[in-house]
Structure 1
Amino acid sequence: MPVSGSPRVSDFTVIPPRSGAAFRLPAGKTLTVVDPEGHQVADLLAYSADDVREVISNGRTFDYEETIALTAGHRLWSNRSRAMLSITEDTVGRHDFLLTPCSEATFRHFYADKPVHRGCFGNLAEALEPFGIGPDDIPTAFNLFMNVPVDGSSGKLRVLPPTSKPGDRIELRAEIDCIIGLTACSAYDSNGGSFKPIHYAIT
């Protein structure tokens, strides 16, 4: 998995299955997110560390990058039209920026025959609370490794298992001082019916 200049295995922090974390990512630092076992989604949020009302925006990002297929060479933009993160490496090339974090309501809507879980929304809300970020401040996440094909004629969405393999990764360089929320996703369809950890490192 590691390549020249990449974090060592000992540098990584583990996010256990169906949980989340939040942390600071200073400008110029690189966040590496790894799917260690494959087929696992990670929801990512970014806020300005100087003012958490400035937050990652899928609409601004689609507008300025002129694509919904975001990968290496693209940037993720804020609601104030500032570049927040640049994707510098991506071994998967398939992510989603259309769907909101799964929540208790998601489970009641799609998984009526399965136990209700607070989902990524609840995990992010808990992790981000110490930074003064509340549930109503959580926007659409950049869903790493999530596979959401869109039919070209009807516009219909499907949620399929991720294409990521064990050890696949994405690297994002902070363009401003950020607060990051990151999960190991909890939704059944997003992860092909099983739940695994996510690893991350800051270099």
Structure 2
Amino acid sequence: MTTTTLTATETPTQAQSHTHTHDDNGTALGENATLHEPISADGTPEPGRTYTVPARCGRAVRVKAGQTIRVTNTHGTQVCDTWIFNAAHLNEFLSFEHTRAYIDKVIPQVGDPLVTNQRRPIAELTADTSPGVHDTLIAACDLHRYKNLGVTGYHDNCADNMRLALKAIGLRAREVPQPFNLWMNIPVKSDYSIEWLPAVSKAGDYVDIKAAMDCVFVFSACPQDIVPINALHPVEVEFAVLA
């Protein structure tokens, strides 16, 4: 199993039993390449350029109001945790408890708005070439999730990838919102239990999301390699802000 380097002041045991000293949830519990490989110093992209989110890592990108970002499942098997923050105030963000009520759906479809914790549109899903199977119910994996799954030591995780991707461009959010888990296949069965299944998308499937305000998008190529949502083999995804 792949592991990464902890922060200089934390041992694996300390990270697992970590008690937040801040009054929020914005501090990463470990570190990986995400922190050192932003797309640019402040997250501003070159329009039309394709960027890679490496396996197990995260990236942050600024998207202006009216611009569309395309997220591509390069191999068809990878889940991509996706967050959208108001670039002016990171305490406003895409919220799925609010979006589900706004659109009366569990999974957004093309043409649906994505709304914030202030119940206003932050973006719109404008294209989806996949079968449309995504997840809006499951929290981002974090160090505590992997501990519950029996992992000892540090394991790359989507929550830290979000925190580190923002830090890499000089930003910090106070919490880790519920992500839009692109291509994550979590069916709800008739008895209301859920399953953790591999993605049903194919290589090259993409979604387009159009920003309704100046945003910061954050992507994590989910590191999950214990339950089979990534076919037990995390790989990269790609994105581009369309010219």
TM-score, normalization: structure 1?
0.89
| 2:123 paired with 1:94 | no
CA deviation after TM superposition for structure 1 residue 149, in Å: 0.3
CA distance in 1, matches of 2:70, 2:153: 32
**Corresponding residue to 2:100 among 62, 65, 87:** 62
Look up the match of 1:106: 145
Cα deviation digits, residues 140-175 of structure 1 (max 9, x gap): 1000111010113x2212111001111010000001
| 2:218 paired with 1:181 | yes
1:71–1:94 contact (8 Å) kept in structure 2: no
| 2:142 paired with 1:121 | no
Look up the match of 1:37: 75
CA distance in 2, matches of 1:186, 1:114: 15
CA deviation after TM superposition for structure 1 residue 40, in Å: 0.2
CA distance in 2, matches of 1:86, 1:168: 18
1:145–1:162 contact (8 Å) kept in structure 2: yes
Look up the match of 2:236: 197
- Secondary structure of the residue aligned to 2:239 is strand
- Secondary structure of the residue aligned to 1:106 is helix
Look up the match of 1:85: 123
CA distance in 2, matches of 1:186, 1:61: 26
Q: Greater relative contact order (Cα 8 A, min sep 6): structure 1 or 2?
A: 1
| 2:208 paired with 1:171 | yes
2:134–2:184 contact (8 Å) kept in structure 1: yes
1:30–1:174 contact (8 Å) kept in structure 2: yes
Look up the match of 2:11: none
CA deviation after TM superposition for structure 1 residue 58, in Å: 0.6
- Secondary structure of the residue aligned to 1:127 is helix
CA deviation after TM superposition for structure 1 residue 23, in Å: 1.4
Name stretches of at least 5 consecutive residues in structure 1 with no aligned partner: 1-9
CA distance in 2, matches of 1:177, 1:166: 30
- Secondary structure of the residue aligned to 2:59 is strand
| 2:182 paired with 1:157 | no
1:57–1:78 contact (8 Å) kept in structure 2: yes
Paired residues, number: 191
CA deviation after TM superposition for structure 1 residue 195, in Å: 1.0
CA distance in 2, matches of 1:19, 1:76: 24
CA distance in 2, matches of 1:168, 1:115: 34
% same residue: 29
TM-score, normalization: structure 2?
0.75
| Greater than 3 Å deviation, 4+ residue runs | 113-116
1:46–1:179 contact (8 Å) kept in structure 2: yes
Change over 3 Å in CA distance of 1:71–1:191 after alignment to 2? same
